[in-house]
Structure 1
Amino acid sequence: MTTAKDLFIIAMAPRPDRSVGQGDLSLALAGAELIDLLGAGALTLDGERIVPGPGPATGDRLLDGAARALDRQAPYERIEDWLWRRGRDLAALYQTALEEEGQLTRERHGRSPFGAERLQLADSPARGRALERWADGDPVLVALAAVVGVGGGPDGDAPVPEDEAVTAVLALVNDAVMELEAVRQRRSIEKAAFANLWRGP
């Protein structure tokens, strides 16, 4: 399993306080892919630019797809631009892949055969490994989960990744999610102002 799939599984775990936004999760998944590709030697960072390398295939269809999607023309793509480009609807792509792998199942609620379907995490070895990584306080997984609003990790301060490149990616993922939230708030304000305009005095 990859960091992105582990993150998706952690984000899917039911929690009463809030659900994870698809846009936030998509940006974090794109960051997780970058971090795994860094670890696989498929890329390096030159400042905030992604320099593709000749890294071997990872064996994961989505992660290999991410490697093929890297911009291989100098001056290369900035991390921030990659997050927005690769992150577009990425959560839906991971949902489909995990359903195909049997990691997610659809269950109907209520007695009616036409009741609403809900995605459930399957009780699988992959889920067990993701939860174990979470419980162990894996610094990358905990940091990415925190960016999308998933807390409840191990007690105390989670360890900070020692790799500077990984830390840089995490910081930019956080910036992108904050930017997305700012856009949401601005649209909400504009929508409310428009509604008030039509409502009149």
Structure 2
Amino acid sequence: MSTAKDLFVIALDPKAERPVGQGDLSLALAGAELIDLIAARTVTLDGDRIVPGGTGAPPDRLLAEAASALVRHTPYERVEDWLWRRGHDLAAAYQASLEEDGQLVRTRAGRSPFGADRVEPADTPDLRRALDRRARNEPVLAVLAAAVGLDDAPPEAAPGADPGDEAVTTVLAVVHDAVMELEAVRQRRSIEKAAFANVWRAP
């Protein structure tokens, strides 16, 4: 599977201490896709701009969709803008795709950020490979997992966090910043709602 699919299935691990928010996961999935596209030489980075390459479409369907969504004219899209644009509802798209492929199963009980039914990874070789990547603290997956709150350590403190590639490091840093920005928006809205409620409760 792709890095994005590996991240998705470990985010749904029933042993996880807390569920991952769809918004955080969607941003990280968009970053994971971009990292896989860099590895496949489908794109390169010019600073923080995503420059499409000349290679064919990736074999993975969702990665192929990501490649087809690239901005192919100058000035090329910034990584941050890609995360917010491509990341819109991306977690739901991965859920649907993995369910269709038999990589996810639904159960009646438990909590899930995706609805009343709990969605869990099926016991497949792909799941075991993803869990093995996490157990080995594979650098990119470790940083992405930390960014969405699967691990308590911040991304820069994740074991083996240096992926050894400047472009990949740039994407990981922007993913972290985007998730922090999303959390700041949530907190601001929570404060605003609380203040509004207090106005109505005031004598």
1:143 is displaced (CA, Å) by 0.3
Q: Identify which of 169, 183, 194 aligns with 2:196.
A: 194
| Distance in 1 separating the partners of 2:105 and 2:86 | 25
| Distance in 1 separating the partners of 2:95 and 2:16 | 21
8 Å Cα contact 1:40-1:56 kept in structure 2 = no
Give unpaired runs (5+ residues) of structure 2.
111-115
Alignment partner of 1:57: what SS? coil
Give me the CA root mean square deviation.
1.7
8 Å Cα contact 2:51-2:76 kept in structure 1 = yes
| Distance in 1 separating the partners of 2:10 and 2:17 | 15
Could you say which residue in structure 1 is the equivalent of 2:187?
185
The 5 A counterparts of 1:37-116 are 37-109=37-109
Give unpaired runs (5+ residues) of structure 1.
111-115
TM-score (structure 2 length as normaliser): 0.91
| Number of matched pairs | 194
1:200 is displaced (CA, Å) by 1.1
Output one character per residue of 1:71-98: Cα deviation in whole Å (capped at 9) or x when no partner: 0010110000000000000000000000
| Distance in 2 separating the partners of 1:184 and 1:117 | 25
8 Å Cα contact 1:79-1:172 kept in structure 2 = yes
User: Judging changes above 3 Å, is the alpha-carbon distance between structure 1 residues 192 and 68 closer, same or farther for their aligned structure 2 residues?
Assistant: same
Could you say which residue in structure 1 is the equivalent of 2:170?
168
Could you say which residue in structure 1 is the equivalent of 2:3?
3
| Distance in 2 separating the partners of 1:58 and 1:178 | 30
1:28 is displaced (CA, Å) by 0.2
1:29 is displaced (CA, Å) by 0.2
| Distance in 2 separating the partners of 1:8 and 1:19 | 12
Alignment partner of 2:164: what SS? coil
Write the letter of the residue equivalent to 2:74.
A
1:16 is displaced (CA, Å) by 5.7
User: Judging changes above 3 Å, is the alpha-carbon distance between structure 1 residues 75 and 20 closer, same or farther for their aligned structure 2 residues?
Assistant: same
Could you say which residue in structure 1 is the equivalent of 2:132?
132
Aligned identity (percent) is 66
Larger Rg: 1
| Distance in 2 separating the partners of 1:136 and 1:175 | 25
Could you say which residue in structure 2 is the equivalent of 1:17?
17
Alignment partner of 2:51: what SS? strand
1:135 is displaced (CA, Å) by 1.3
8 Å Cα contact 2:143-2:158 kept in structure 1 = no
Could you say which residue in structure 1 is the equivalent of 2:113?
none
TM-score (structure 1 length as normaliser): 0.92
| Distance in 2 separating the partners of 1:109 and 1:27 | 27
Output one character per residue of 1:146-184: Cα deviation in whole Å (capped at 9) or x when no partner: 00001289xx95111110110000000000000000000
| Distance in 2 separating the partners of 1:76 and 1:151 | 33
Could you say which residue in structure 2 is the equivalent of 1:145?
145
Write the letter of the residue equivalent to 2:168.
V
Greater mean alpha carbon deviation, residues 16-25 or residues 61-70: 16-25
Write the letter of the residue equivalent to 1:197.
V
